[in-house]
Amino acid sequence: MALTYLCMISWDSLQARLNINKIIGSTAEDQKKINLVNGLISAVSFNHEENRKKLISAGIYSDFFSKTYYLLKIIPFCFILLIILATYLRGTIDITTAVIYVSLTVIFILIGPDAYISMRGKKITKKISGRLPFLLDLMNVCVHTGMTIESSLDYLSKEISTVDENLGYVVFKTVERSKVVGIEKAIDEFHQLVPTSEAQSFAMTLKQSLQYGSSVGPVLSSLASDIREINIMELEEKIGKLGAKMSIPLIVFIMIPIVVLIAAPGVLRMISDA
């Protein structure tokens, strides 16, 4: 993790230096460095597109990290594996300890990051979906002021990042893609980035408004209210399940010790009489 962090910091600092030098007018040397690094990374990277989608869903937007994701897992794994093998050959550890160390290395270096990114991706997707009513209300205000759907998304992509970075990034990528493939295709890709029923309703509402020219303001307000009601119902469902979940520690840590305390004197008398 420390190696990954240092690599990402170095790459970001190099890109920041390149952007500064673009203003000054001296970018040739730094551009050569970036091209060299990109060439080396491209030679050893694989599944770049799959990694990029997976990392974007987890809120990690570094292109460098998506290219070197597997590389940053395999190199530490091989290094630790060589250390374990050398230690075993020297006789410092036995075969059982070596197998345990290898298993822990596989879990924490190969399986652990994938599990963490998957869990983080689900959490961020749910968070973005819960923030959609906020986006819908802001779009409703923008539409009522006379802005189109495209211009309102363009404006909100710059402003909403101060409130929610992940939602701001998704809206920003939607605006960027709309300039290349069109707004309807970009809205479909928004649903692909946030694969939830709320995002699907949002995409369908915008597409219907674009296709038929209907007024989108009242529909956005109604959709925001519906999503809020769904979120409240899910919260109430979780609260309702707490009672059943709390009964398990109640039985294990309170009821069973009480039964033991009540039955213990009688059992001890029977043992002593016998």
SS3 category, 156: helix
Domain ranges of the chain: 2-123, 124-230
- The single-letter code of the amino acid at 75 is I
Is pLDDT above 80 for 87? yes
What pLDDT, on a 0 to 100 scale, did the predictor assign at position 126?
Answer: 87
Is pLDDT above 80 for 226? yes
Phi, psi angle pair for 60, to nearest 5°: -110, 110
Is pLDDT above 70 for 242? yes
User: How large is the average pLDDT for residues 34-45?
Assistant: 55
pLDDT in tens, 62-79: 777 777 777 788 888 889
Q: CA-CA distance, 123 to 137, in Å (whole number)?
A: 23
Mean per-residue pLDDT of the chain: 78
Core vs surface per residue 15-33: b (16+ CB within 10 A) or e: eeebeeeeeeeebeebeee
pLDDT in tens, 92-144: 888 888 889 889 988 888 888 888 888 988 888 888 888 888 888 888 888 88
DSSP letters along 94-119, please?
A: -HHHHHHHHHHHIIIIIIHHHHHHHH
26 pLDDT band, cuts 50/70/90, is: very low
